[in-house]
């Protein structure tokens, strides 16, 4: 079983890699965003606490985030199947807390993968998205182009680039990402746990770059183990 952290800018393909690691190695995908949403929806004590900060436009404190993640990491299926973390740890304080949690349980972390791609490629990927203002349909200039340029296939309205996907906005999001995560990358680098993987040559090559660092060969997870762990938490 393997335990992996994925770090990478928006648009680099973390979601795709999490899905592949789940379907092929049986790892439990632990996305901090999803875990937050579930805690808030279930109105747990932690969820209510986190919501108070979010509603006030404030960052959720490290302590609350760490407690939410710790809760998931202690679950039986996560312990048995291993995990792939996405969106956590985001700060060195969180990374240190994760190290302590794993040490306490005598669990080891296999690797922290930094998914890397040239900024131009990421901007190109994200900036290609087009939305229909009338019916909401989403297109992509390269991956899912409309039949007639600039017009919606369904309702014939004009297509627009969302403000979040404007090249300047994307560059700013990338700048903030690098500023925030560099200390975390340095932290794992200093522990000898960092692996830099080129994420610009398609999902299969990226995936190969991730699993080459794992001790357990691909395909060693037994499907029945996966199935029997459902509902255990």
List interacting residues with Zn ion (CB under 5 A). 132, 134-135, 137, 152, 154-155, 157
Catalytic residue among 71, 79, 80, 90: 90
Q: Give the whole-angstrom CA distance, residue 185 versus residue 188.
A: 5
The verdict on whether 38 is a catalytic residue reads no
SS3 call for 186: helix
**In whole angstroms, how close is the CB of 213 to Zn ion at the nearest point?**
44
Q: Which is nearer to Zn ion, 53 or 160 (CB)?
A: 160
DSSP string, 59-125: PPPHHHHHHHHHHHHTSHHHHHHEEEEES---SHHHHHHHHHHHHHTT----EEEEEE--HHHHHHH
The verdict on whether 162 is a catalytic residue reads yes
The verdict on whether 173 is a catalytic residue reads yes
The verdict on whether 52 is a catalytic residue reads no
Q: Which is nearer to Zn ion, 121 or 155 (CB)?
A: 155
DSSP letter for 27, please.
P
The verdict on whether 154 is a catalytic residue reads no
Q: Which is nearer to Zn ion, 134 or 144 (CB)?
A: 134
Catalytic residue among 72, 81, 125, 173: 173
Catalytic residue among 14, 72, 81, 195: 14
CA distances from residue 17 to 31, 40, 133, 165, 233 in whole angstroms, order as listed: 12, 26, 31, 22, 24
Q: Which is nearer to Zn ion, 121 or 135 (CB)?
A: 135
**In whole angstroms, how close is the CB of 141 to Zn ion at the nearest point?**
16
**In whole angstroms, how close is the CB of 132 to Zn ion at the nearest point?**
3
Asked if residue 154 has a cis previous peptide bond (ω within 30° of 0), the answer is no
**In whole angstroms, how close is the CB of 136 to Zn ion at the nearest point?**
7
Q: Give the whole-angstrom CA distance, residue 94 versus residue 133.
A: 40
Residue 5 φ then ψ, to 5°? -110, 130
**In whole angstroms, how close is the CB of 135 to Zn ion at the nearest point?**
3
Q: Give the whole-angstrom CA distance, residue 16 versus residue 29.
A: 11
Catalytic residue among 79, 162, 171, 196: 162
Q: Give the whole-angstrom CA distance, residue 128 versus residue 161.
A: 8
HSE, CB side, 13 Å, CA atoms: give it for residue 159: 23
Q: Which is nearer to Zn ion, 157 or 166 (CB)?
A: 157
By annotation, the residues acting in catalysis are 14, 90, 129, 162, 173
């Amino acid at each position: 079983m393997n335990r992996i952290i994925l770090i990478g800018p928006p648009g680099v393909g973390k979601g795709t890699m999490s899905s592949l690691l789940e379907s092929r190695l049986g790892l439990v995908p632990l996305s901090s965003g999803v875990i937050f949403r579930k805690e808030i929806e279930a109105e747990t004590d932690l969820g209510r606490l986190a919501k108070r900060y979010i509603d006030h436009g404030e960052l959720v404190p490290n302590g609350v985030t760490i407690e939410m993640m710790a809760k998931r990491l202690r679950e039986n299926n996560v312990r048995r199947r291993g995990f792939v973390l996405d969106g956590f740890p985001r700060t060195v304080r969180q990374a240190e807390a994760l190290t302590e949690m794993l040490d306490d349980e005598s669990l080891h972390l296999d690797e922290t993968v930094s998914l890397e791609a040239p900024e131009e490629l990421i901007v190109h990927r994200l900036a290609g998205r087009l939305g229909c203002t009338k019916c909401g349909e989403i297109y992509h200039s390269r991956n899912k182009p409309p039949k007639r340029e600039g017009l919606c296939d369904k309702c014939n309205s004009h297509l627009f680039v969302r403000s979040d996907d404007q090249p300047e906005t994307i560059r700013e999001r990338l700048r903030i990402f690098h500023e925030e995560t560099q200390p975390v990358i340095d932290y794992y680098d200093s522990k000898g746990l960092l692996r830099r993987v080129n994420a610009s040559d398609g999902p299969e090559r990226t995936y190969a770059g991730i699993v080459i660092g794992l001790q357990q060969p691909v395909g060693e997870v037994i499907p029945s183990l996966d199935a029997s762990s459902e509902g255990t938490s």
